Structure 1
Amino acid sequence: MSEDSTAQNTTFASNGGQAYGYLALPPSGTGPGVIVIQEWWGLTDHIVEVTDRLAGEGFVALAPDLYGGRTTHDSDEAGELMSQLPVAEAAQDLAGAVDFLLGHEAVTSSKVGAVGFCMGGGFVLMLAAQQGDKIGAAVPFYGVGSAVPTQYSGLRAAVQGHYGEQDQMYSASTARALEQQIREESGADVEFFFYPAGHAFHNEENLLGTHDPDSARLAWERTVRFLKERLS
C-alpha cells in the first residue's frame, strides 16, 4: 500500500448488531468502494494485503471479518470454521458492509465491487445475487462452498471470474458450467478466465503448494482494470 494510504480496523451496523472489518483508504482519500471477502482461513495477513493493494489502486476497500477475529493456517481447522459459519448470517454481515461503504463519505461510486477468494468467491456471487443493483462488479476467485448460489436471477453486476485449470476443489468444467448459468439466468456481462494453475493460485501464503505467481499477476491486473471500468 502507498505510504499515503490509511487503514484501520472498523465496525459497521449489520444484522441487528455490529460487525467488524478492516478498512483501507486510497492515497487520494476517496474512491470507488470494494468489498474484499476472505478465504476459509479467516481475515489473514494475505487478505489484509489484498485490501491494501486495492486501496493503493484508488479504491476504498473493506474486508469484513466473518470469523470474529479467528484465523488459522491449518486446513482441518479452516474447514471446521467454514462449516460452522452460518451462511445466512454471513450474508447479512456482507450486506451491512455494502450499505456501510455506500454511505461512507470517502466512497465516490453509486455501486460497490466485490472480490473474494475460495469461500469468499462463493460469497461474492451470493452477495451479487442478493444485492442486485447495489453491486456493480463481482470478482470471484475460484469460488467454492455452500455460499455459491443455485440461481442468479437477481444478479445485476458484471462478473469476472478467475479459475484454475488444475483446480482439485472446483473443476474447470464446473466453473465453465457456472459461467454459462450466470449468463443465462441474469443476463449480465459474464467472463471467466482460466489459468494453468490449481486452487488458490493467487495466495502467496498458499499452503496447498499451488501458488502461481504468473497467473496471480495476470488475474490481479485483469481484476483491477475490471473494477476501474465498472465502478468509475
Structure 2
Amino acid sequence: MPDLHIPAAEGSHQEAYLATPPGTGPWPGVVVLQDVFGVGQNVRDHTDRLAAAGYLAVAPKLYTPRGGGIRCIAAVFRAMTSGQGPAFDDIEAARAWLADRDECTGRIGVIGFCQGGGFALLAAARHDFAAAAPNYGFVPTDAERELEGICPVVASFGGQDTALKGHPERLEKALTTLGVEKDIKTYPTAGHSFHERFYAETLVRHLGAGYDPAASEDSWRRVEAFFGTHLAS
C-alpha cells in the first residue's frame, strides 16, 4: 500500500497514498479526501479500511509543493469555500486516474473528512462520482444551487460540532429539493472529527472535537452499506 505520484492538474503530478484490496480485481474505486492535517495516519487508516472492504482507494495530497507551503494551504481552504480552484482539478485527476486502472471497475465514490468532507460534496456535484460520503464537512450556503447534479450522498455530522451548526439541516433540505437519494445522520454526543483517532488530546478538547468510537463505527457501517449499493459493478 505505497505512496506514489499520480496525475494532477495542468500536466503536473500529486503525491498520493494507494490502498489495494486483497485478492484480484477489478474493484470499485474510492477517492479519499484529507482532513485539515493532510494525508496523515488518520486518512491512511481510512484508506486502508476502504481497501479491506473491497475498494481500490487513493488519498491524494491536496497540499502540494506546487502551491508553496502556507500559500498552498490557504488556497485549498479558499477552494473549499468558493467551490473553485486547482484542488478540484486535482481531485478530478485522481478520480480519472483511478477509473482508468485495469484493476478498477470504473465506478468511483468519494469520501472526505473535515475539510475533505466539504470537498467531497462539491466534487461529487462537479465530476463523475457514483456516491459521496462527506463526514462533518462544510455545506455551502446556497447548497441547492451548488449541489445540482450531485450523486447519492451518505453524510455524517456530530451534534456537538458547533462550527457546523445548521449544516446537516441545510444539506438535508437541498438534497430533498434536488430529489437526490441520501442518508444523513447527526450523532448527538459526537463532536467534530469523531472518526479521527490520532489528534493531540489537548487540541481536540480545545476544539470540541475527537474520536467517538460508537459514532465512528455506526457511520462506517452506513458508508459501507451505501457504497455497496451504489458502487457495485
The TM-score with structure 1 as length reference comes to 0.84
Return the alpha-carbon distance in structure 1 between the equivalents of residues 101 and 16 of structure 2. Answer: 14
Match of residue 90 from structure 1: 87
Q: Which runs of 4+ in 1 moved over 4 A?
A: 145-150
- Contact 1:24/1:62 (CA < 8 Å) preserved in 2? yes
- Contact 2:33/2:111 (CA < 8 Å) preserved in 1? yes
Matched-pair identity in %: 31
Amino acid across the alignment from 1:160: V
Match of residue 164 from structure 1: 158
SS at match of 2:149: coil
Match of residue 144 from structure 1: 138
Match of residue 172 from structure 2: 179
Return the alpha-carbon distance in structure 2 between the equivalents of residues 26 and 102 of structure 1. Answer: 15
Give the direction of change, closer, same or farther, for the CA distance of 1:194–1:225 in structure 2 (3 Å limit): same
1:79-228 counterparts in 2 under 5 A?
82-85=73-76, 87=79, 88-108=85-105, 110-131=106-127, 134-144=128-138, 151-155=146-150, 157-171=151-165, 173-185=166-178, 187-196=179-188, 197-206=190-199, 207-209=203-205, 210-228=210-228
Instruction: Give 5+ residue unaligned stretches, structure 2.
Output: 80-84
- Contact 1:37/1:63 (CA < 8 Å) preserved in 2? yes
Q: Tell me which of 21, 26, 33 is aligned to 2:29.
A: 33
Return the alpha-carbon distance in structure 2 between the equivalents of residues 99 and 148 of structure 1. Answer: 28
- Contact 1:116/1:143 (CA < 8 Å) preserved in 2? yes
Return the alpha-carbon distance in structure 2 between the equivalents of residues 28 and 191 of structure 1. Answer: 30
Return the alpha-carbon distance in structure 2 between the equivalents of residues 22 and 52 of structure 1. Answer: 10
> By how many angstroms is 1:104 displaced?
0.7
Give the direction of change, closer, same or farther, for the CA distance of 1:28–1:158 in structure 2 (3 Å limit): same
- Contact 1:123/1:147 (CA < 8 Å) preserved in 2? no
- Contact 2:64/2:72 (CA < 8 Å) preserved in 1? no
1:1-40 counterparts in 2 under 5 A?
7-16=1-10, 17-30=12-25, 31-40=27-36
Return the alpha-carbon distance in structure 1 between the equivalents of residues 57 and 146 of structure 2. Answer: 27
> By how many angstroms is 1:147 displaced?
11
Amino acid across the alignment from 1:135: F
Aligned residue-pair number: 212
Return the alpha-carbon distance in structure 1 between the equivalents of residues 148 and 34 of structure 2. Answer: 25
Return the alpha-carbon distance in structure 2 between the equivalents of residues 59 and 211 of structure 1. Answer: 24
Amino acid across the alignment from 1:217: E
> By how many angstroms is 1:182 displaced?
2.7
Q: Deviations over 1:147-182 (max 9, x none)?
A: 996621121x110100011112101x3321222113
Instruction: Give 5+ residue unaligned stretches, structure 1.
Output: 1-6, 70-76
Higher helix share: 2
- Contact 1:176/1:192 (CA < 8 Å) preserved in 2? no
Amino acid across the alignment from 1:130: R
